[in-house]
Amino acid sequence: MKSALHLGSIALLVVTWIVASHMLGERLLPEPKAVVLALLDEARSGALAFNLSVTLLRVFASFAIAMALGTLIGLLMGRNPIFNWLADPWLIVLLNLPALVIIVLAYIWAGLTDTAAIAAVALNKLPIAIVTIREGARALDPMLDEMATVFRMSRRLRLIKVTLPQLAPYLVATARSGLSLVWKIVLIVEMLGRPNGVGFEIGAAFQLFDVTRILAYALAFTVVMLAIEAFLVQPLERHVSRWRLRPA
Amino acid sequence: MYPAGVSGRLELHIKNKSYRTVTGGRLHVLGKLSIALAKGDVAALVGPSGCGKTTLLRIIMGLDRDFEGVVSLPADCRLGVVFQEPRLLPWWTVEENIRLAAPQASEMALSALFATLGLTEHRLHYPGELSLGLARRVALARAFAVEPDLLILDEPFVSLDAPLAARLRAELIELVSRRPVTTMLVTHSIDEAIGLADRVFLLSPSPAHIVADVPIENPRGPRSADEIAVMANRIKRAANLA
């Protein structure tokens, strides 16, 4: 039933695409068939695999940095009021700084390098991760903390077995929203200052008004991100909530 | 202050404990009170609700250090605590919960403990799958698994139906008789105190002080309902005289 609905909805999307393509014309919106053919062309030349892997590496690097730092700082801010007051103005500035400003400044200060690109993306994701994890840290159950204290649990054991499992729903939420944000920003960063990657290819196609290639790369990367969601994020979520009673 | 006491002995002398209220005033919870327990003593604290029993336990556990007075615990005191709520970690199984608190416990000791408390078939269950009665048993098992020098029980049988509470009391008696341990039990049932303790401390309404310290003859021995009623009357009289 569920998969039938899914398939029906995808078929409807393709039909809408074809109809819109006929209304707008081949140049503005090519048919799905043309996009798939362009995609196969890119795949055959090896450019698709190269660009996808370069972009994915950037996505994972900046995602990992933002998650690690965001968890650390979010935990500190949620648990320690002095640190929270100190860091809060910085957080608000960073939260409201436009992505474009961070990217451009990173390229100016650190040069047109991968380090600058990854740092700029991580910095865009970081404040959102901090805010979510901080809420999680504030919601930690003091009763369980007291239990860990009276039973003399070590700091390390406490972090791994008591604190992080309580943060798990917040971590999964941050990971899910983070991954989709990060890959969108990576594309902009690539377009502005990298010589390869999906973002660079889309930027080049834009110069030539080559809508077919733009759609081909967008489609390929969306499929990759959907696969990551289905095969990585969702199983992880099921694992961290395995102890919850399943609704009958 | 928390000096290490003579081995196995718990002593506490509290001069005063108050809380700052939200409106800026001070709420006086504990008055002057002293309790000394020898190794293996089982003491019951009985008092009206809100008299500061839980506060007193928190001071002994070291969770509340904002008070005037001295608490001396047995040297290198290992604590076993049963809170009012089970306080289990919902994402670990029953067995993992207990092993986390008591990493040194042997497989044999744990199996025996599970058997005594009727938890053997629940070892791999998550706390969310347990009834409150079962969860309280797991909390008891966790406190005993650490082989504590000082056992603290804060109304461990509250909100359980009478037959189940009676069964758990019997299991507690069995555990204490198997391995004597200095125990501090908070309850508001005098009958429960008579059934479990060597000594019953009666507390006044807040700010709490001790109004009577009654030793129990033949502690944890079998007694009839009449005998319990007679003892309960004696304790209540002692409280009124004081």
Give DSSP secondary structure letters for chain B. ---EESTT-EEEEEEEEEEE-TTS-EEEEE-SEEEEE-TT-EEEEE--TTSSHHHHHHHHHTS---SEEEEEEETTPPEEEE-SS----TTS-HHHHHHHH-TT--HHHHHHHHHHTT-GGGTT--GGGS-HHHHHHHHHHHHHHT--SEEEEESTTTTS-HHHHHHHHHHHHHHHHHS--EEEEEES-HHHHHHH-SEEEEEPSSSB-EEEEEE-SSTT----HHHHHHHHHHHHHHHHH-
Short-list B148, B234, B157, B221, CA closest to B189: B157
Yes or no: say if B209 and B51 are a contact pair by the CB < 8 Å rule. no
Short-list A143, A145, A134, CA closest to A167: A134
Which chain A residue shows the shortest CA-CA distance from B102? A151
Which chain A residue shows the shortest CA-CA distance from B92? A243
Q: Which two tokens stand for residue A19?
A: 């109809």
Low-confidence ranges of chain A (pLDDT < 50): 247-248
Q: What is the pLDDT of residue B2?
A: 64
Q: Determine whether the interchain pair B101/A168 forms a contact, defined as Cβ–Cβ distance below 8 Å.
A: no
Which chain B residue shows the shortest CA-CA distance from A157? B100
Yes or no: say if A99 and A125 are a contact pair by the CB < 8 Å rule. no
Q: Is the Cα dihedral B48, B54, B57, B62 positive or negative?
A: negative
Cα–Cα distance between A231 and A217 in angstroms, integer? 21
Cα–Cα distance between A104 and A188 in angstroms, integer? 11
Using CB atoms, pick whichever of B92, B100, B128 lies closest to residue A153. Answer: B100
Instruction: State the nearest Cα–Cα gap between B90 and chain A, in angstroms.
Output: 7
Q: Tell which of B64, B78, B91, B184 to mutate to test the A interface (max A CBs under 10 Å).
A: B91
* ipTM rounded to 2 decimals: 0.86
Exposure string for A5-14, b = 16+ CB within 10 A, e = fewer: eeeeeeeeee
Q: Is the Cα dihedral A65, A70, A72, A73 positive or negative?
A: positive
Q: Determine whether the interchain pair B100/A152 forms a contact, defined as Cβ–Cβ distance below 8 Å.
A: no
Cα–Cα distance between B205 and B188 in angstroms, integer? 12
- Kindly report, residue by residue over B157-177, the tens digit of the pLDDT: 887 778 878 888 888 888 888
Cα–Cα distance between B140 and B150 in angstroms, integer? 13
Short-list A9, A220, A50, CA closest to A212: A220
3-state secondary structure A143-177: HHHHHHHHCCCCHHHHHHHHHHHHHHHHHHHHHHH
Domain boundaries, chain A: 35-240
Cα–Cα distance between B153 and A33 in angstroms, integer? 72
- Cβ-based contacts of B61 with chain A (< 8 Å): 146, 149-150
Q: Which two tokens stand for residue A80?
A: 């320690």
Which chain B residue shows the shortest CA-CA distance from A145? B87
Interface subset of A 187-206, CB within 8 angstroms of B: none
Cα–Cα distance between A191 and A178 in angstroms, integer? 20
Q: What is the pLDDT of residue B223?
A: 76
Q: What is the pLDDT of residue A36?
A: 92
Continuous segment of H or E residues that includes residue A32 = helix A32-45
Yes or no: say if B87 and A143 are a contact pair by the CB < 8 Å rule. yes
Residue B58 has pLDDT above 70, yes or no: yes
Q: Which two tokens stand for residue A22?
A: 């006929």
Using CB atoms, pick whichever of A150, A152, A168 lies closest to residue B63. Answer: A150
Q: What is the pLDDT of residue A128?
A: 94
Q: What is the pLDDT of residue B6?
A: 53
Distance from CA of residue B214 to its chain's centroid? 17
Cα–Cα distance between A198 and B100 in angstroms, integer? 48
Residues 6+ apart with CB under 8 A from B212: B200, B201, B202, B235, B238, B239, B241, B242
Residues 6+ apart with CB under 8 A from A49: A43
- Pick from B113-122, B127-136, B233-242: least confident: B233-242
SS3 A1: coil
Q: What is the pLDDT of residue B227?
A: 78
Distance (Å) of CA A202 to CA A21, A126, A199, A206, A209: 20, 26, 5, 6, 10
Yes or no: say if B177 and B21 are a contact pair by the CB < 8 Å rule. no
Distance (Å) of CA B68 to CA A196, B10, B62: 69, 17, 13
The band of B8, judged by pLDDT with boundaries at 50, 70 and 90, is low
Cα–Cα distance between A114 and B184 in angstroms, integer? 63
Complete edge-to-edge strand list for the sheet that includes strand B150-154: B79-82, B150-154, B182-187, B42-46, B199-203, B210-215
Q: What is the pLDDT of residue A248?
A: 42
Over residues B95-107, the mean pLDDT reads 92
Q: Does A82 touch chain B (CB under 8 A)?
A: no
Over residues B211-217, the mean pLDDT reads 81
One-letter amino acid at A221 equals F
- Kindly report, residue by residue over A54-64, the tens digit of the pLDDT: 999 999 999 99
One-letter amino acid at B187 equals T
Fold observed for domain A35-240: MetI-like fold (1.10.3720)
Please tell me the class of the B1-78+183-242 domain. alpha beta
- Cβ-based contacts of B91 with chain A (< 8 Å): 165, 168, 240, 243
Average pLDDT across chain B, whole number: 85
SS3 A243: coil
- Kindly report, residue by residue over B180-205, the tens digit of the pLDDT: 889 999 988 888 888 888 898 988 88
* A246 class by beta-carbon count within 10 Å (0-12 exposed, 13-18 middle, 19+ buried): exposed
Q: What is the pTM of this model?
A: 0.79
